[in-house]
Amino acid sequence: MRTLNAAVNTFDKRSHINREIYGHFSEHLGRCIYDGIFVGENSPIQNTNGVRNDIIEAFRQIKMPVLRWPGGCFADEYHWRDGIGEKAGRKKMVNTHWGGVTEDNSFGTNEFFNMCEVIGCEPYLCGNVGSGTVEELADWIEYITFDGISPMADLRRKNGREKPWKLKYLGIGNENWGCGGNMRPEYYADLYRRFQTYCRNFSGNELYKIAGGPNVDDYHWTDVLMSIINDSHAKAISLHYYTIPSGDFWNKGSATKFSDEEYYKTIAQALRIDRLIEKHSAIMKKYSDNMKLVVDEWGCWFNVEEGTNPGFLFQQNTMRDAIVAAVSLNIFNQRSDIVSMANLAQAVNVLQCLVMTEGDKLLKTPTYHVFDMFSTHQDAELLYSYTDNTETNGIPAVSQSVSMDKDGKITMTFANASLGEDFEVDCAIVGTAPKKAEARILTGDVRAFNDFTSPEKLVPTEHKADITDKGVKFTLPKCSVVSILLS
Ligand code: AHR
């Protein structure tokens, strides 16, 4: 087995890893909300105000910091007033983007905000710019956050909620270059300035406004948007990037049946996010030193599973997804000077999900376990780290990031993307010498996945990591993700 030298410097703190980098996304799409998160108050499935208790528990375990809602493309056709008040009286609509199904609006603003309180995560609202009005969005903010006497606050009280909720993260539109209105950046940027003007900070609530940024490598969008908006209009702009093995949106490939070559292409595509962040942030820095990037949709996007509704975007989740999750999160950590938030698409039953449900059963995907293993990076300081890397099939085999929390505990997360080679990592630690190492590993066949007959095929197990004179030593088997907590 080859030994790779690695190094960490605990004196060299690079940037703060916002816990929101470990954020998630829930859209009215397929079985994410209905028959997923929300089963209704009268369901025989254990629930709190209609939200599955096992989902609440699973989200709490990974310390879910933030959840984006209601879309996605759905957000730009969502009219919030349809989703408040007596359920029987709520207006129905057609979910034109996702399967043409009837949306009965039984999960709306009160349900979402109450759920976030129960989970203990920040809500991240995506406002309707594409088909909505400035007044509609302004009223929504007033409904949610205003403490005094006002038409919207009174309406909230009438609907059973006396105190306002807290709302920090507000996206103004979604993919307005595409499903959110097919706009040109000049037009959207002006519209953004107008919409955001009327999104007020009520009752001590302070909005962190996010402008709709580029798709993948649309640097023109970033340049134009940044030239029209400034720090007083937005704290961040978004970036959407999905990992598609072929890079071809119309022929994405299967989630479970793929060749080794396709696997390596997938990892190469996932690694691309690093360059995208670098290039978009270089453009942003021409205009602002403060504005951040919010990668509010990322993850693997494959063909839907056979026999499922093509509009529901249901795909399986293998060890390949776990490697993609690990390399992506390591990149976001390494880029935490500019990336203030990231949201995996999506939380339940859609795309690269965290959990899947079937009746009263719930399973955790390999991707979920990666979030669990990485959770101690949240709100820690990124440390300088280095691995003497090696190439495999045109990509770097090893990805890593290391951070130190406020109590001095160090989290190291590594992924070995190679399907053929195990490594030993001999890591020197400059600075604070650790006394104890607790390690976990997630590994298995790259095509293996958890399903309802075998829900725990891929789960993290204990791993051996030895404290040495100079730091820590451990093995990094092929196709594995390893996390080490040093204290
Ligand atoms: O996550 C699925 C869809 O992908 C979202 O609705 C949209 O924003 C993106 O194109």
Task: Specify the DSSP element, H or E, that contains 480.
Answer: strand 480-486
**CA 52 to centroid of ligand 1, rounded, Å:** 24
* Cβ neighbours of residue 325 closer than 8 Å, sequence gap 6 or more: 299, 344, 352, 366, 367, 370, 371, 481
Please give the number of the atom of ligand 1 that sits closest to the Cα of 180: 8
Ramachandran angles phi, psi of 280, nearest 5°: -65, -40
Q: Distances from the Cα of 104 to the Cαs of 75, 100, 289, in angstroms?
A: 15, 12, 44
Determine the atom of ligand 1 nearest the C-alpha atom of 351: 1
Q: Which whole-number Å values give the CA distances from 28 to 87, 375, 381, 486, in the listed order?
A: 17, 26, 35, 40
Domain ranges of the chain: 2-10+383-486, 18-379
CATH class of 18-379: alpha beta
CA of 349 relative to ligand 1 center, distance in Å: 14
Closest Cα to atom 7 of ligand 1: 72
Q: What angle do CA 415, 421, 422 make, to 5 degrees?
A: 65
User: Do the beta carbons of residue 478 and residue 421 sit within 8 Å?
Assistant: yes
Q: Compute, in angstroms, the gap from residue 245 CA to the centroid of ligand 1.
A: 17
The pTM assigned to this predicted structure is 0.97
pLDDT attached to residue 389: 83
Catalytic residue, candidates 103, 111, 142, 297: 297
Q: CB-based burial of residue 456 (10 Å sphere; 0-12 exposed, 13-18 middle, 19+ buried)?
A: exposed
Closest atom of ligand 1 relative to the 74 alpha carbon: 6
Please identify which residue in the block is written with the tokens 């302070």: 206
CA of 34 to the centre of ligand 1 (A): 17
- 302-341: pLDDT as tens digits: 999 999 999 999 999 999 999 999 999 999 999 999 999 9
* C-alpha 135, offset from chain centre: 29
pLDDT tens digits, the chain, 487 residues: what are they?
Answer: 999 999 999 999 999 999 999 999 999 999 999 999 999 999 999 999 999 999 999 999 999 999 999 999 999 999 999 999 999 999 999 999 999 999 999 999 999 999 999 999 999 999 999 999 999 999 999 999 999 999 999 999 999 999 999 999 999 999 999 999 999 999 999 999 999 999 999 999 999 999 999 999 999 999 999 999 999 999 999 999 999 998 888 989 999 999 999 999 999 999 999 999 999 999 999 999 999 999 999 999 999 999 999 999 999 999 999 999 999 999 999 999 999 999 999 999 999 999 999 999 999 999 999 999 999 999 999 999 999 988 999 999 999 999 999 999 999 999 999 999 999 999 999 998 999 999 999 999 999 999 999 999 999 999 999 999 999 999 999 999 999 999 9
Cα R_g (the chain), whole angstroms: 22
Q: pLDDT digits over 341-377, tens only?
A: 999 999 999 999 999 999 999 999 999 999 999 999 9
- In the residue annotation, 358 being an active-site residue is answered as no
CA distance 426 to 423: 10
Task: Report the separation in Å between the CA atom of 64 and the middle of ligand 1, taken as the mean of its atom positions.
Answer: 20
Q: Provide the CATH topology of domain 2-10+383-486.
A: Immunoglobulin-like (2.60.40)
Residue type, 307: G
Instruction: Return the amino acid letter for 55.
Output: I
For a ligand 1 pocket test, name from 73, 176, 218, 302 the mutation site with the most ligand atoms within 8 angstroms of its C-beta. Answer: 73
Alpha helix segments (H runs only) across 298-398? 319-334, 366-374
* Catalytic, out of 27, 77, 142, 175: 175
Residue nearest to atom 4 of ligand 1 (CA): 72
Q: Which atom of ligand 1 is nearest to the CA of 97?
A: 6
DSSP β-ladder status, 292-300 and 339-345: parallel
From the CA of 242, give the closest atom in ligand 1.
4
Ordered alpha helix ranges (H), 346-449: 366-374
CA distances from 367 to 197, 392, 475, 483 (A): 38, 22, 21, 14
Instruction: Give the closest residue to 85 by CA, choosing from 99, 62, 106, 103.
Output: 106
Q: How far is the CA of 316 from the centre of ligand 1 (A)?
A: 18
The preferred substitution site among 26, 67, 179 for testing ligand 1, maximizing ligand atoms within 8 Å of CB, is: 179
> What single letter denotes the amino acid at residue 227?
S
Nearest alpha carbon, ligand 1 atom 6: 72
Nearest-atom number in ligand 1 for the CA of 178 is 10
110 in helix, strand or coil?
helix
Residues with CB under 6 A from ligand 1: 27, 71-73, 174-175, 297, 345-346, 351
CA-nearest residue for atom 9, ligand 1, is: 72
The rounded distance, in Å, linking the Cα atoms of 253 and 318 is: 14
Place of tokens 């519209």: 191
Pocket test for ligand 1, best of 76, 176, 240 (most atoms within 8 A of CB): 240
- Mark whether 297 is an active-site residue: yes
- Number of neighbours of residue 249 by Cβ within 10 angstroms: 9
75 C-alpha to ligand 1 centroid (Å): 10
* Contact present, 71 and 126 (Cβ < 8 Å): yes
Pick the residue whose CA is nearest to atom 2 on ligand 1: 72
Instruction: State residue 125's pLDDT score.
Output: 98
Specify whether the CB–CB gap between 33 and 312 falls below 8 A.
no
- Whole-number Å distance between alpha carbons of 433 and 408: 11
For residue 313, the ligand 1 atom closest to its alpha carbon is 2
Distances (CA, A) of 70 to 67, 73, 112, 278, 390: 10, 9, 9, 29, 42
Residue nearest to atom 5 of ligand 1 (CA): 72
The rounded Å distance from CA 406 to ligand 1 centre is 36
Phi, psi for 347 (deg, rounded to 5): -70, -40
